[in-house]
Structure 1
Amino acid sequence: MSDISNPVVEAIEEEAQRRKPAKAVRPILRLMPFLVHYRGMLTLALVSLVLATLATLAIPMAGRRLIDNGFNRESAAFVDQYFIALVLVALVLGVASAARFFFVSWIGERVVADIRRAVYEHVLQLSPAFFEVTRTGEVLSRLTADTTLIKTVVGSSASIALRNIFLFFGAGAMMAATSPYLSSLVLLAIPAILLPLIVFGRWVRRLSRSAQDRLADTSAFGTESLNAIQIVQAFTHEPIDNERFGSTVESAFDTARSRILARAILTALIFFFGLSSVVGVLWVGANAVLAETMTGGELLEFILYAVFAASALAALSEIWGDIQMAAGATERLMELLDVEPEIAAPAQPQALPAPRGEIAFDNVTFAYPTRPHVSALHGFSLAVAPGETVALVGPSGAGKSTVFQLLLRFYDPQSGHVRLDGVDIRDAEPRDVRGRLAVVPQETVVFGTTVVENIRYGRPEASEDEVRAAARAARIDDFIMQLPDGYQTQVGERGVTLSGGQRQRIAIARAILRNAPVLLLDEATSALDAESETLVQQALEGLMADRTTLVIAHRLATVLKADRIVVMEEGRVVASGTHDELVRQGGLYARLARLQFAGDRDMLDENARANAGAAV
């Protein structure tokens, strides 16, 4: 799968960031099955975390000893020992912190990679019915932005949270051990500090989200107008679009200004309440030192532990939003993993016999999931003998493409049976059924890779010679050899560097290479010019010679050589026979043939008259 361009990724991530976070963090527990695979790394990360916390908590104790023992000649050796000990503590802290960062980051990247693979693998197995009600962009957003949010938590925020939880409780315990009285004062001050932070913090988050929305509006409008720059200029719409863009920019600025003001007020409150609390504790502690109820070293030790506890609490409050966002992202990803494929292999699939290419639809009735009250096929029956070429014709909405959808088992009918080589395809493994079919769709799909890989998509194990043989059969080898890198030429995203006819011939070469016993052609020459259509029709005739072929065609001239033409209307078979038989019968086919072929004759007569006039 080709990489998504950066603007698309940024847009997807912005959309995910604007989603509401989860109200609870319980969904994160769904990550445990992915985490337990790496117990060794988790253990190493936990050990590193504990060592780093203990090393951090040892620093204030050393500071207390230094202050209380004083700085004089008699205690010089004592001071040296403590500074050496502090260097060793710094070494342990540095090594443990680095190890914690490495192990936790590795776990984060590994878990996210596993989740992405699991979700993508699962999504590939979901039936088209799922994509009728789910936007592809939503799935991509979950695969990219949501997994990135999870990586932030598992690989970073979770580590920070655990470290600060350990540090907060460790520092709190040491504060209580150092001075129970000062600890009680700190506990009384905590609500007064947290309440305004929570209130203003929510205000800042709300304004931040609003600022993101306004920025996204600006980006969306600018992208839309620039992508259609020729239309903008052709209709002299530049002043109006410029005014609209300016309005969205000013709206984004106004929202950002409100966010900046709120953040400034929040910062002022943090400094005021935080520093006031520290000053208050210092004042009480200084009086205790003067009263000789505690030493200067004990006061220093308490203050350092209080700073550790406060910084840990502040860090926890900051990452709480990230954890909630990650919980929401996990919930959305698990929703995808919980979706059961509507089309699945039976517990004990029936093996298909030797390939013959026999197809049978027996009284099939089917309605698409999004249109349950409208039958695309109703009592549809069709038997196709091995090697027979059958054309399906009829007006749009008659159910022709639905026949292909059911044969490929993208859907199951509500009633009736679809059989391939005598086996009901619901009793067989879907991959085995699809392995006997080669498809040339009307809407050609070309992937953003090389020409050879696009053709080889029909049979990944095919050799270079087999790929070239298929290209020659599709009458596209000469064109490919004129490309800068021949078969190794990159065709761009969705094949943008190729014309519609060239893309369609690549799709035909892909079907030729697949070499399946059943060939499905859905307007396989609709994007070709007259000369290319003649060449490809010759290639298709050779390909169809020993295969069962179903052809969907709106242009009746392309199906005149079919063994049988099946006329469909409103999901039913209304007539069947050769072209001449159906014309003699009258009805829908005769009317369609009269309209098309009469139009072709009128066009030919008009061209002849124009050429004659030009000659005169």
Structure 2
Amino acid sequence: MNTEDTSPRTPPPRSLSGLWPFVRPYRWQVGLALLFLLLAATATLLFPVALRHLIDGGLQADRGAQAMALRGHFLDVFGVAVLLGVASASRFYIMSWLGERVTADVRSAVYGHVLRQSPAFFETTRTGEVLSRLTTDTTLVQTVVGSSLSMGLRNAITGLGALAMLVWAHPMVMVQVLLVIVLVVLPAMWWGRRVRRLSRASQDRVADASAIAAEVLNAIPMVQSYTAEDREAGRFDEAAEHAFRTAVRRSRARSVLVAFIIIANAALILWGLYQGTQAVLAGTMSAGQLGQAVVLVILFAGAVAVWGEVYGDLLRAAGASERLMELLASRSPVQEPVQPRTLPAVHGGSRVRFEQVRFHYPSRPAQAALDAFDLTIEPGQTVALVGPSGAGKTTVFQLLQRFYDPGAGRILLDGVPINELALADLRGRVGTVPQDPVIFSASALDNIRYGRPGASDDEVRAAARAAFADEFIRALPEGYDTFLGERGVRLSGGQRQRIAIARAMLKNPPLLLLDEATSALDAQSERMVQAALDTAMQGRTTLVVAHRLATVRRADRIVVLDHGRIAEQGTHDELLARQGLYAHLASLQFNA
């Protein structure tokens, strides 16, 4: 497998500017951290000055004056140390708090934004990649905001201060040192671009491995059923190995950068020491001034070395920040109206109208999922959608809930075009019972209450009784408080379906969508679920998708779809008499 980086973009460190909206609300904390940072840098720069006075003061001929001077100078040095310790500790605490706070805000913002994306987003973005960005990338951001950034700023201030003091005290020496610095910085910046590219590539490879793991872990029964454990483990090993090789290349490049900076810094220190000793021998510099110069050169070289490390962290965080900002910058094609309209009050169900709707899925632009689709459903009616697989039945449900917008035509709910409604108002009027109901890792009570979070326990139990779920729930070890396991693994298919029906009934919407709600059940479970559905359908408009025609015989009207168009519609008996597509499908099923 090719391990070369194919990333089309290289994020510069300024990509971190995308984090500013998350840092801005805490500008007081930032200002306080900068204050302590400046105090710590100032204390660091005062050390060489105090050292100079300590050395020169200790060379006095008068023993009594020398002892007094030394005592005062040692107290000055200790005072500088206290200032440095307090300022550094305060800066560390505030920046650590800020890093944790900003990271939590970024995670929440990205997660909340992803939740509002239309299904089109997930046609091209894997869930595992999103999870990788929420965990790995935000951890990198936390490291930089909480630690590396403040360390880099402190060393930048210290290094520049030391450089300024050296230039002021020894201008001729520093002209030569500055020339050497240019020879160090330019190659480091050139090599840093390679480290930056590899950092982004490494994070992308980790995201690929996370995506594979998330996909497989969500399909464990299928994987084990096909005895594909070794195959899937091998696929993950290959992705992990790819990530490892890319990370090694990044680490190798960064190691070269670190080695170069350390060797160059050693050269700077030795050059400064050599120039200083020559000045002392020539009598143009005192021993205290030499000590001060040596410490300043060490501080400057150390600051440059730390910046080499911090720059690498900034490059990694820039890639992570860019990936997070890409998620935040993604815009769902389904947008809220600027001035949403209000739905009228309804009794006995909603009225639904499709007017010449045409729609293509983003991943299949050449094939129309619906074409010239025109349908009216009156309040309280039960309309069944049937047809071959791929005829467009589920698409009707997705468009009606505005997961997608049609390319042409419009959809009206109770006389109002749905694209003029707030999404919460539109979806608040719709209840769904899918073929594969979603059961959350929570109690039975909480799973049903998901339909209406503010419902009381009594209302939840009433919905469960109406859905014929009360009996089996009370038989669970802890009744309604029983934890149902991830995806409801402790329940049978029919029990999960009745939980979903109870959830929809608790919501009490005027429009109910049943998508193959009984197709995966055995005969006994189907009878129980069908009884629950009959109760749920009373007093509301119901749209039913079904392959099994036996479940739609009692519908007020059956709409037969074929290749995204309405082929025919009528009652069960009327359609059988026409000997069309419905009669053909019925003969295949009933004869079988």
TM-score interval for Structure 1 and Structure 2 normalised by the shorter chain: 0.7 to 0.9
Structure 1 residue corresponding to 2:30, chosen from 25, 39, 42: 42
Alignment partner, residue 530 of structure 1: 523
* Residue deviations 1:162-200 (CA, integer Å, cap 9, x gap): 111111110001112232233233224335555776687
Gap change, CA 1:73 and 1:499, over 3 Å in 2: farther
Q: 1:100 to 1:413 in 2, by over 3 A?
A: same
Q: TM-score, normalised by structure 1?
A: 0.84
1:266 shift after superposition: 7.0
- Determine if contact 2:118/2:333 at 8 Å carries over to the other structure: yes
Letter in 2 for 1:153: V
Alignment of 1:86-235 (within 5 A): 86-191=77-182, 193=184
For the pair 1:571 / 2:559, whether they are aligned, the reply is no
**How many positions carry a matched residue from both structures?**
583
Give, in angstroms, the shift of residue 439 of structure 1.
Answer: 0.2
Q: Measure the CA separation in 2 of the matches of 1:438 and 1:341.
A: 23
Say if 2:450 is the partner of 1:457: yes
Q: Contact 1:20 / 1:325 at 8 angstroms: preserved in 2?
A: no
- Secondary structure of 1:376's counterpart equals strand
User: Shift in Å at residue 268 of structure 1?
Assistant: 6.6
Q: Compared with structure 1, are the counterparts of its residues 263 and 42 closer, same or farther at alpha carbon in structure 2 (3 Å cutoff)? A: closer
> Partner amino acid for 1:29?
S
Q: Distance in 2 between matches of 1:21 and 1:150?
A: 19
Q: Which residue of 1 aligns with 2:545?
A: 552
Match of 2:46 among 44, 47, 58: 58
Distance 1:390 1:304 in 2: 85
The question of whether the paired residues in 1 share the 8 Å contact of 2:391 and 2:564 is answered with yes
Matches for 1:293-442 after TM superposition, within 5 Å: 293-355=284-346, 356-442=349-435
- In structure 2, which of residues 484, 496, 506 is the aligned counterpart of residue 491 of structure 1? 484
**SS of 1:573 mapped into structure 2:** strand
Question: Relative to structure 1, is the Cα distance of residues 87 and 210 closer, same or farther in structure 2, using a 3 angstrom cutoff?
Answer: same
- State the partner residue of 1:614: none
Rate the CA distance shift 1:352–1:445 in 2: closer, same or farther, 3 A. Answer: same
Shift of 1:261: 8.3
Secondary structure in structure 1 of the residue aligned to 2:368: coil
Report the Cα offset of residue 460 of structure 1: 0.7
Determine the C-alpha separation between the residues in 2 that align with 1:213 and 1:424. Answer: 42
| CA deviation vs aligned residue, 1:57-86 (integer Å, no higher than 9, x gap) | 011111111111226543111111111122
CA distance in 1 between counterparts of 2:361 and 2:133 reads 26
Identity %, equivalent residues:
53
Distance in 2, matches of 1:111 and 1:589, equals 58
1:481, distance to aligned residue in structure 2 (A) = 2.6
Q: Given that residues 203 and 320 in structure 2 are in contact (C-alpha distance below 8 angstroms), is that contact kept between their aligned partners in structure 1?
A: no
Name the CA distance, whole Å, in 2 between partners of 1:303 and 1:43: 32
Structure 2 counterpart SS, 1:562? coil
Structure 1 contact 565–576 (Cα < 8 Å) conserved: yes
Tell me which moved more, 76-85 or 467-476.
467-476
Unaligned runs of 5+ in 2: none
- Please show how residues 5-84 of structure 1 align to structure 2 within 5 Å: 22-70=10-58, 72-84=63-75
* Native 8 Å contact 1:18 1:213 kept in 2: no
Contact 2:383 2:559 in 1 (8 A): yes
Which digits, 9 at most, give the CA deviation of each residue in 1:312-335, with x for residues without a partner?
A: 111112111222232333333333
Q: For structure 1, which segment, 22-31 or 98-107, has the greater mean C-alpha deviation from structure 2 after superposition?
A: 22-31
Matches of 1:210 and 1:343, distance apart in 2: 31
Question: 8 Å contact 1:18–1:209 — kept in the other structure?
Answer: no
Superposed displacement of residue 53, structure 1: 0.7
Instruction: Select between 297-306 and 212-221 the one with higher mean Cα deviation.
Output: 212-221
Secondary structure at the aligned position of 2:495 is classed as: helix
The equivalent of 1:505 in structure 2 is 498
Identify the residue that residue 279 of structure 2 maps to in structure 1. Answer: 288
Mapped to 2, the partners of 1:333 and 1:222 lie a distance apart of 20
Q: Give the direction of change, closer, same or farther, for the CA distance of 1:258–1:371 in structure 2 (3 Å limit).
A: closer
Q: 1:517 to 1:156 in 2, by over 3 A?
A: same
Q: Deviations 1:552-592 (Å, cap 9, x if unpaired)?
A: 11011111111221111111111222212211111111111
Which amino acid letter does the alignment assign opposite residue 41 of structure 1? Q
Quote the Cα distance in structure 2 between the aligned partners of 1:476 and 1:520: 19
CA distance in 2: counterparts of 1:423 and 1:251, whole angstroms:
53
RMSD: 3.8
Separation in structure 2 between the aligned mates of residue 358 and residue 430 of structure 1, nearest angstrom? 17
Shift in CA distance, 23/286, structure 1 to aligned 2, threshold 3 Å? same
* Alpha-carbon distance, 1:347 to partner: 2.1
Amino acid at match of 2:360: A
Q: What amino acid is aligned across from residue 132 of structure 1 in structure 2?
A: E
Contact 1:380/1:572 (<8 A) preserved: yes
1:350: how far off? 1.8
Higher alpha-carbon deviation: 396-405 or 481-490 = 481-490
Deviations 1:200-251 (A, max 9, x none): 778888899999999999999999999989989998998x999999999999
* Structure 1 alignment gaps of length 5 or more: 1-14, 600-616
What CA deviation, in whole Å up to 9, does each residue of 1:24-78 have, x standing for no partner? 2333223333322222112211111111111110111111111112265431111
One-letter amino acid of the structure 2 residue matched with residue 32 of structure 1: W
Q: Is the 8 A contact 2:159 2:300 kept in 1?
A: yes
Quote the Cα distance in structure 2 between the aligned partners of 1:223 and 1:341: 23
